[in-house]
Amino acid sequence: MKKILLLSLFLLTMLSWEAAAQARTITGRVTDATNNEGLPGVTVLVKGTQAGTATDVSGNYSINVPEGGTTLVFSFVGYTTTERIIGNATTININLGTDARQLNEVVVTALGIAREEKTLGYAASTIKSEDVTQARPNNVMSGIQGKVPGVAISSSGSPGASTKVIIRGVSSFTGGNNPLYVVDGVPINNINYNNANTGSNVNQSTRAVDFGNQANDINPEDVESVTVLKGASATALYGSRAAHGVIMITTKRGKLNDRVRVSYSGAYTASNVLRTVQTQNVFGQGWPLYDPHENGSWGPRLDGVVRTWGAEVDGEARRKPFAYAKDNTRNFFETGSEVQNSVTVSGGGQNNAFAFSYANTNQNGAVPTDVDKYTRNNFSFRGNSNYGKFTSDYNIAYTRRDVSAIFTGQGTSDGGATVFQEIQQIPVDVPISQLKDLNNPYNTPDNYFTVYAENPYFVINNNKTTMQEDRVFGKLELGYEVFKGTKAIVRAGGDFNNARFYDQGARITYTPGSYGKLGGQTDVPGRYGETTRRDQQLDMSALLQGNYTLNEDITLGGIVGGNYNSRSYNTLTSYVTGLNVPEWYSLQNTSGTPVTESFKNERALLAAFGNIDFGFRDYWFVNLSLRNDWSSTLPKGNNSYFYWGANTSLVLSELLPNFQSDRLSFLKVRGAWGKTGNDAAPYLVNSTYPATQISLGFGNIYLPVGGVAGQTQSNNQGNQTLRPEITREWELGLDTRWFESRVGLDVSYYDRQTKDQIVSATVAPETGFTTQTRNIGNIANRGVEARLSLIPVKTDNFQWEFATNFTKNKSEVLSLYGDAKEFLITSVYSVDYVAEVGQPLGTFKVPAFRTVQSGPMAGKVIVQSNGVEATDATLKETVGTSNPDFILGFSNGFTYKGISLNAVVDWRKGGQFYSYTKQLNNFVGNSTETTYNYRQPFVVPNSVKEILPTTPGGEVTYVENDIPVPYTSVYNYWSNASPARFHNFILDRDYVKLREVVLSYNLPVSLVSKAKMSGASISLIGRNLLLFTPKSNNFVDPEATNYGNDISSELGEFAAFPTMRNYGVSLRVTF
């Protein structure tokens, strides 16, 4: 018996040794593939067994693998499930990539409420932090260009310039087409500062400047996600401020029970001009014969012969070869730079979590000197607390912006010239580099080579403007669980800023007897001005939120609450014209009295709202939103208006399980119908009484004068029947994913109508007014937006992701007011930008050619006696629209182990824009098309002469034209001196642009862990690297504009700041 027991013990021991030999322990770390940070709570399983574990707060894990275990499976919510074969490894480290196609993705919706994506009955697009920041843009919205269907995003080129965001097309005549920006559930201001010409009405063709819009103040590194709510049903809970969509920005938060983490991101990029004018290289200085003092290139052919040019100083003029100066405009610009640094510290305990961040952005533009410079400093603190039934969420952000800018457009008599207008007026054979030295006597105002323009280097050193802004915004949110499933929430937010503007224009006094004075130059008196502007917004909401599971089949949720919002701003402006002492910019530097103006604007909105959510068996969902607003800007007793939105989604793949297969992963159909509005600006209901201003031929007289005060009734008549602008919209959509979500398609069709546009319309003079604010018009926007996502290749080490976004919007003006068929939105020279019944909103009209109306010559152009086309003084013809046929965005991402390559391409097809840059280059003879027929006399093609009758009552006849445009008049033919040419200054807006290219490398975990880091990556980045446009546009980037970031910007550009190309390197490190 004893031997049997000993033998049994021996066998058991051997078996245990064998089992121990066959089981082993695997350790490793799981990190986020985008930033190399450790992921806590990742599930790690041995495939085919019950063995499993989870990663700790740093992403580390240890797991015992039983006999027969060959594969580890790593899974985490929001990330792609990944498998790894164990083999002989004892350590397995994994980078998990995010999976934006997960069916239960959470989307932040109206009022900051998070909902599962499959429950939404309307289109909403969410962009994650890593996609926003991968190319290191200096503002959030530039980071989502080309990545969201139904959204058109563009920006002009100056440092800190504004970003235009249009969702589902333009639908308001007079502005307000920008979306509402909401940060962590609270609306913020998005003021666009686009004019610093103190003491003037906003005229964006004259001394215009773009200081940017306030949505660009947000540090992109603070952003967790951006959600775009597009339709009326999605935005109804925000009422009148959300008529043009909502941009929901959710910021990063600290996590409860998490260690303290420190992350740093930095980037350096160089910048240069993306597009400059392609000038002709055949003809040189002159007008039309050689003239060394001209500002145009209408002279003889370039022959390389050394000639004199410009003014004589001490009896001697400069000499140079009469040859083409290659890259002349580009040589004016320097290489700019941009430096970004951002540090975030976050962490959390059992009940409280926090995140603190600081970011600094320094951008020095490509214009010589520091005249175009942008500096932004961001400080932000975000916290959240959870004490059982009581929760709180709070944040505060401070932003300081300092901007130095130069004026664009055209100059003024008191403020002098603008730089880009002057650059275009340099003949193609005059090297711009020879104008740079302002100490050179040939480059002074007295002796500048032409009396018809100013030295651009003098302009940038003397005519400029600056801005400083201090801004604080934030919120406090308190929540309490009244009983299970029901929560009371109180939320208060504020946005306060103080901005200061300074503008200066040099005094120029031409010396008697100097070249400039003898040539007829007029003295510039100079100007200086200061403006202070203060804005504030208060937003307070109280709501009761409930979510209930009634039984296994039905869920019910709802919100009821109220909101109070007030916005106000005040400005104080003072300026002087006529400086006593040159280069002393002060309000004291004048013999007169500074002109001072002040303005205060206040408005308030009160609202009550409710929302109901219904869910059935996790496949059918219905949502109903209701809201009523009371606005202070509408007539008393008639200032209440009601909005609503209803939407539903049906997940067919859940309703009909047989639909699901290895091929079909998900299928949802959705529908929405809603109504939103847009109230009026303040002070339009009653007539106002501004300070009296008397316009004279030599200037203006402002009262009070000599102690006599004066107020004059405004020329705009008040309107006691004013109504809100109303938008109604319905949409249908389909969302489907195939082959384990490797193929996805989300498509929507929408139909939106906006009526009762609030505009200033002309009234009969006998009323005593010139205009009255009225409700007019009905605008329709109908379109299709779609997103196709693919993962064509996916292996253990390599993955290729591709996505394309398609946007097609067709707008139509359905009606205006009375019998009116056309409404002028804005104009420049002989170009009108109008709303015309039956046409898309925003069409271009120019003077029409006179043509033969009937007979065998019908349709041919009639010429004048000089051979140039005749125009019809009574008629303007439509030559295009600003609306695109479609917009396509392409994204490609390739990942191989720790290396990734991402690229974004934007393609816009269709639409037109007005280009003053082309108009001016045609005028001075620098553009390539002015070399047509080598500037020899030519007959206008397809033209006829008009033969008037020699006897009363005789018939007008037409014969083929044989009158050539003479050599000495070719310059008039191509310039705006001929009204017939304005159709030629409307260019195609088509482009293909390489928006982003990012090549990144995530350093191995084994390497970064030795440096006490949890992750590190380095990237090569490029933004706006390439631009392709039709051959007719070899002048400007179609996105460049100095008309702001609303409907006026659709007009085009007026000697605007060129857009920039950026390329550099970035670094991300996490501790």
Q: Which one has a higher pLDDT value, 11 or 445?
A: 445
Query: Please, which residues have CB within 8 angstroms of residue 950's CB and are 6 or more apart in sequence?
Result: none
Q: What is the pLDDT of residues 899-919, one digit of tens each?
A: 999 999 999 999 999 999 999
Residue 931 pLDDT exceeds 90: yes
Domain over 141-273+335-418+463-684+719-842+882-917+990-1070 is classified CATH 2.40.170.20: yes
CB 278, CB 327: distance < 8 Å: no
pLDDT average, residue stretch 381-387:
95
CA distance 405 to 383: 36
Neighbouring CB atoms inside 10 A of 711's CB total 12
- Bridging pattern class, strands 24-32 and 94-96: parallel
Q: Is the peptide bond before 856 cis (omega within 30 degrees of 0)?
A: no
Q: Which of 1066, 1054, 1063 is nearest to 156 (CA)?
A: 1054
Q: pLDDT by residue (tens digit) across 606-619?
A: 999 999 999 999 99
Res 663: pLDDT? 87
In angstroms, the CA 597 to CA 1071 distance is 53
2-96 matches 141-273+335-418+463-684+719-842+882-917+990-1070 in fold:
no
pLDDT at 638 over 80: yes
High-pLDDT (> 70) share of the chain, %: 94
Can you tell me the distance from the alpha carbon of 791 to that of 892, in angstroms, rounded to the nearest whole number? 10
Distance CA 350, CA 385 (A): 9
Please give the pLDDT value at position 20: 38
CA angle at residue 412 from 159 to 972, to 5 degrees?
100
* 491 bridge partner residues: 477, 541
Q: What was the pLDDT predicted at 830?
A: 92
8-state DSSP, 916: H
Give 221's DSSP letter.
G
Q: pLDDT tier at 487 (50, 70, 90 boundaries)?
A: very high
Tokens encoding 997: 């290219």
Top pLDDT among 975 and 508 is at 508
Mean pLDDT value of segment 883-909: 95
Tens digit of each residue's pLDDT (9 = 90 or more) over 406-420: 999 999 888 889 999
Burial of residue 890 (number of CB atoms within 10 Å: 0-12, 13-18, 19+): middle
pLDDT in tens, 71-97: 999 988 667 788 888 888 888 988 887
pLDDT of residue 12: 37
Cis before 704? omega within 30: yes
Residue 530 or 969, more confident: 530
727, pLDDT greater than 50: yes
Apex 689 CA angle, 686 and 691, nearest 5: 160
The one-letter amino acid code at 169 reads G
Banded pLDDT at 493 (limits 50, 70, 90) = very high
pLDDT band at 196 (very low <50, low <70, confident <90, very high): very low
Evaluated on CA atoms 972, 976, 980, 985, the torsion sign reads positive
| pLDDT winner (highest mean) among 153-162, 450-459, 637-646 | 450-459
Q: What is the pLDDT of residue 699?
A: 59
- Band (195; pLDDT cuts 50, 70, 90): low
Number of alpha carbons in the 13 Å side-chain half-sphere of residue 678: 27
Q: What is the mean pLDDT of residues 871-882?
A: 91
- Note the pLDDT of residue 9: 37
| Residue 5 pLDDT | 37
pLDDT at residue 625 tops 50: yes
Over range 330-340, report the average pLDDT: 96
Give every CB contact of residue 391 below 8 A, 6+ residues apart in sequence.
384, 385, 478, 479, 480
**Residues 6 or more apart in contact with residue 487 via CB below 8 angstroms:** 479, 480, 481, 544, 545, 546
In this predicted structure, what is the pLDDT of residue 202? 46
- Assess contact for 828 and 205: CB atoms under 8 A: yes
Which two tokens mark 631?
């606005």
Q: What is the CA radius of gyration of the chain?
A: 33
Q: How confident is the model at residue 452 (pLDDT cuts 50, 70, 90)?
A: very high
Residue 1016 has pLDDT above 80, yes or no: yes
Note the pLDDT tens digit of each residue in 7-34: 343 333 333 334 333 568 898 888 877 6
pLDDT of residue 34: 66
Asked whether 388 and 381 are in contact (CB, 8 A), the reply is no
Average pLDDT over residues 130-149: 93
> Between vectors from CA 619 to CA 615 and to CA 625, what angle results, nearest 5°?
40
Determine the pLDDT at residue 8. 42
Other Cβ atoms within 10 Å of 324 Cβ, number: 17
911 contacts 882 by C-beta, under 8 angstroms: yes
**How much is the average pLDDT of 639-658?**
91
Check residue 702 and give its pLDDT. Answer: 67
Q: What does the pLDDT look like over 728-754, one tens digit per residue?
A: 999 999 999 999 889 999 999 999 999
For residue 35, name the pLDDT band (cuts at 50, 70, 90). Answer: low
Among 100-109, 253-262, 714-723, 982-991, the minimum mean pLDDT is found in 100-109
- CATH fit for domain 2-96, picks 3.40.50.300, 3.40.50.620, 1.20.1250.20, 2.60.40.1120: 2.60.40.1120
Confidence of residue 172 (pLDDT cuts 50, 70, 90): confident
Q: What is the pLDDT of residues 350-369, one digit of tens each?
A: 899 999 999 999 999 999 99
Mean pLDDT for the stretch of residues 623-647: 93
Q: What are the sequence ranges of the domains in the chain? A: 2-96, 141-273+335-418+463-684+719-842+882-917+990-1070
Q: Using the predicted structure, report yes or no on whether residue 880 has a pLDDT greater than 60.
A: yes
Q: How many CB atoms lie within 10 A of CB 203?
A: 14
User: Is a pLDDT exceeding 70 seen at residue 698?
Assistant: no
Band the pLDDT of 557: cuts 50, 70, 90: very high
Burial 96-124 (b: 16+ CB within 10 A, else e): bbbebbbbeeebbbbbbbebebbbbbbbb
How many CA atoms, within 13 angstroms, populate the side-chain half-sphere of residue 1040?
Answer: 31
* Mean pLDDT confidence for 627-641: 92
Return mean pLDDT, the chain: 90
